[in-house]
Amino acid sequence: MTLCVALLGGSFDPVHQGHVALGALFAAQLQPDELRIIPTGSPWQKSGLQARADDRVAMLELAFREAALPVTLDLQEIERNAPTYTIDTLRNVRAELGAAASVVFLMGADQLGQLDTWREWRSLFELAHIGVAARPGYSLASADLPPAVLAELTPRLGSLAQLRNSPSGLAYLAETLDVAISATQIRASLQRGEKANSLISPVVLDYIQQHNLYKI
């Protein structure tokens, strides 16, 4: 059977229930041999991160343990002393796992709508499949996608079984994730002194309070 590894990247500043829900969705539907979480180091499309790398990693460990969702943390982007590009990470993962493994890069539909701004974005499909989870306000309908992304995506649509049993090149759209949360929203709530209990795991919230994170 083909080895299947699902990758979930992001700044996780902080990790929230939407991240966990996305990972859980594809863990259940795709049944990968490994769900690998890749916290970013220096994301080129975002301004400076508010929490340090060690705090973001600690919060990730707490959140996914609380959800009883086994994951592997891959710290290559944090350890890379350069701007973070997904294409470089996927090349590293492919070199590690070999040409035959199924690699599925997970993202939300909002990220899909910006895919054509990513470095060497068409080459992503040479290295991995893309699994997309819908979220409220981000339709997967063709009218809401950049024409270049739609043209690249449409002929690549496949089933979970096809993703599971082939190395790369396909896309799967899971229109079942109904979680509208953003880290920006959470940080704003915390800065206002609100607990954001419905947005973030209690164990992560405890960590944030204990380490005095996200204060103005």
* Residue 79 covered by a domain: yes
> What mean pLDDT, rounded, does the chain reach?
88
Q: How many domains does the chain have?
A: 1
pLDDT of residue 139: 63
Domain that holds residue 156: 4-210
The CATH number of residue 171's host domain is: 3.40.50.620
Q: How far apart are CA 70 and CA 193, in angstroms?
A: 32
Q: Does the reported pTM lie above 0.85?
A: yes
pLDDT of residue 108: 86
* Residue 145 covered by a domain: yes
Which of left, alpha, beta for 77 (phi over 0: left; psi -120 to 50: alpha)?
alpha
Arithmetic mean of pLDDT, 73-93:
93
- Are 104 and 129 a contacting pair, CB within 8 Å? yes
* Residue 216 covered by a domain: no
Q: How far apart are CA 43 and CA 12, in angstroms?
A: 11
* Residue 68 covered by a domain: yes
* Residue 90 covered by a domain: yes
Identify the helix (H) or strand (E) that includes residue 90. helix 86-97
Q: How far apart are CA 57 and CA 214, in angstroms?
A: 15
pLDDT confidence band for 127 (50 / 70 / 90): very high
pLDDT of residue 29: 94
